[in-house]
Amino acid sequence: MKYKVIVYYDHMEDDVEVFDSKDEAINRLHHLRGVKYRNSRLYKVEMKEVN
């Protein structure tokens, strides 16, 4: 199972990172949400499982 961390800018896909480990993907997700895009309303970060 692979995991994608997707960054959306103004409802359009901006950046995609693929991880093999769920722990790495969750850590990156929390880093992007909590540090990089904390107060930005135009950015949205989510994680998806990919086969």
Domain segments of the chain as ranges? 2-50
> Are the beta carbons of 46 and 6 closer than 8 angstroms?
yes
pLDDT band at 17 (very low <50, low <70, confident <90, very high): very high
**Residue 16, beta-bridge partner list:** 6
Closest to 23 (Cα-Cα) out of 51, 37, 3: 3
User: What pLDDT is attached to residue 51?
Assistant: 87
Q: What is the mean pLDDT of residues 2-30?
A: 97
This prediction's pTM: 0.89
> Are the beta carbons of 46 and 9 closer than 8 angstroms?
no
User: What pLDDT is attached to residue 41?
Assistant: 92
